[in-house]
């Protein structure tokens, strides 16, 4: 225990920056997550995160900030996916095709890079330890930008996500909202790639929201829970990873998956409760069933 405290104290300056970055990312992932889950975009997030890696690899090779590289990569990916996908039914295949190609390009770019191999690995599993004040400014401003735009489009976006036909009938511009949201997700994904890495970005963007959707049907409560779960996973993951000195990602994904399992269990019990309540109500209405 004293070991733990002393290690924590030594690492405090870096831990402070990392925790702030992680907390910002947690809010972003928590807010976007329920909409991503509702829109069935988990695979799209995965694809975008791999292409953020391609952008990061290109930046690494060019010697510029990897953060900008992955940001550009993810936004370009979001736009390409949006442009190529005309119908929902072809969404998965488009992502699969673009993702595979983009990842191939990323691998090729990394093979040209002759610097520190930890930098390469960092793109895959994250390097939250390396978040410097400059990256923090980029992270916070990008996150604020995403949240402001999201606040502006939140209601029409929710409407379009749960009920596209009626939303369109009421005048919600579906064609504008989809690509705008894809870009927001792209930006958030790129920021996630920086911290937890492209392989594990799903554990922050998807898992907390998927867990929340198991225990509540209210979009607002789901968003709040999703933020709480994402923060628990990312902050808890960082703190737990300090002493063993193992990758942050392993702990982040571990915590978020544990939360997911618990929520599934709670969800089963809840569905049973609602089901039995409704069963009783209809039995009450049914004629002469004593």
Partner 1 sequence: MTTDALVDAAPVTAPAAALRMRGARLAYGSRVLWDGLDLDIRPGEFLAVLGPNGSGKTSMLRVLLGQQPLSAGEVSIAGSPPGKANAKIGYIPQQRSIDPNLTLRGRDLVGLGLDGHRWGLGLRGRAERRLRVAAALAEVGASDYADHPVGLLSGGEQQRLRVAQALVGDPQLLLCDEPLLSLDLAHQRVVSDLIDARRRAAGTAVLFVTHEINPVLPLVDRVLYLVNGRFRIGTPDEVMTSENLSELYRTPVDVLRVRGQIVVVGAHQESHHCADTTPSPEVRP
Q: Which positions lie near partner 1, rule CB under 8 A?
A: 34, 37-38, 151-156, 158-159, 162-163, 165-172, 212-214, 216-219, 222, 271, 274-275, 278, 281
Alpha-carbon distance of 38 to 61, in angstroms, equals 37
Q: Closer to partner 1 by CB, 156 or 254: give it.
A: 156
243 phi and psi angles, rounded to 5 deg: -75, -50
Asked if residues 52 and 73 have their Cβ atoms less than 8 Å apart, the reply is yes
| Shortest reach from residue 150's CB to partner 1, in Å | 9
Alpha-carbon distance of 226 to 223, in angstroms, equals 5
Alpha-carbon distance of 43 to 238, in angstroms, equals 26
Q: Closer to partner 1 by CB, 68 or 159: give it.
A: 159
Q: Closer to partner 1 by CB, 107 or 274: give it.
A: 274
Q: Closer to partner 1 by CB, 137 or 283: give it.
A: 283
Smallest CA-to-CA distance from 129 within 66, 195, 201 is with 195
Alpha-carbon distance of 201 to 224, in angstroms, equals 19
Q: Closer to partner 1 by CB, 152 or 261: give it.
A: 152
| Shortest reach from residue 186's CB to partner 1, in Å | 21
Q: Closer to partner 1 by CB, 137 or 176: give it.
A: 176
Asked if residues 40 and 89 have their Cβ atoms less than 8 Å apart, the reply is no
| Shortest reach from residue 201's CB to partner 1, in Å | 21
| Shortest reach from residue 30's CB to partner 1, in Å | 14
Based on its alpha-carbon atoms, the radius of gyration of the chain, rounded to whole angstroms, reads 21
| Shortest reach from residue 260's CB to partner 1, in Å | 13
| Shortest reach from residue 251's CB to partner 1, in Å | 27
| Cα 281 off chain centre by | 40
Q: Closer to partner 1 by CB, 167 or 188: give it.
A: 167
| Shortest reach from residue 172's CB to partner 1, in Å | 5
Q: Closer to partner 1 by CB, 1 or 169: give it.
A: 169
| Shortest reach from residue 281's CB to partner 1, in Å | 7
């Amino acid at each position: 225990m004293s070991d733990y405290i002393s290690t924590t104290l030594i690492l405090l300056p870096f831990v402070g920056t990392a925790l702030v970055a992680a907390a910002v990312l947690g809010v972003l992932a928590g807010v976007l997550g329920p909409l991503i889950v509702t829109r069935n975009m988990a695979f799209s997030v995965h694809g975008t995160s791999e292409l953020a890696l391609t952008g990061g690899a290109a930046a690494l090779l060019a010697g510029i900030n990897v953060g900008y590289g992955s940001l550009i990569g993810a936004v370009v990916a979001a736009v390409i996916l949006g442009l190529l996908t005309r119908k929902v039914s072809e969404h998965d295949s488009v992502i699969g095709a673009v993702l595979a190609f983009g990842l191939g390009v990323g691998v090729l770019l990394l093979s040209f890079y002759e610097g520190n191999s930890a930098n390469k690995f960092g793109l895959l599993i994250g390097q939250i330890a390396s978040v410097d004040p400059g990256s923090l400014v980029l992270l916070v401003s990008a996150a604020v930008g995403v949240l402001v735009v999201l606040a502006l489009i939140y209601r029409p976006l929710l409407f379009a996500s749960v009920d596209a036909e009626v939303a369109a009938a009421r005048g919600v511009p579906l064609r504008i909202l989809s690509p705008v949201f894809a870009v927001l997700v792209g930006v958030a994904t790129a920021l996630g790639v920086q911290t937890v890495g492209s392989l594990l970005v799903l554990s922050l963007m998807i898992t907390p929201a998927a867990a929340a959707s198991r225990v509540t049907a209210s979009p607002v409560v789901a968003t709040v829970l999703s933020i709480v779960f994402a923060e628990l996973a990312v902050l808890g993951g960082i703190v737990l990873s300090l002493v063993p000195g193992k990758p942050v990602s392993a702990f982040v994904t571990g915590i978020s998956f544990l939360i997911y399992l618990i929520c599934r269990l709670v969800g089963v019990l809840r569905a049973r409760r609602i089901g039995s309540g409704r069963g009783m109500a209809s039995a009450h209405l049914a004629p002469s069933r004593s």
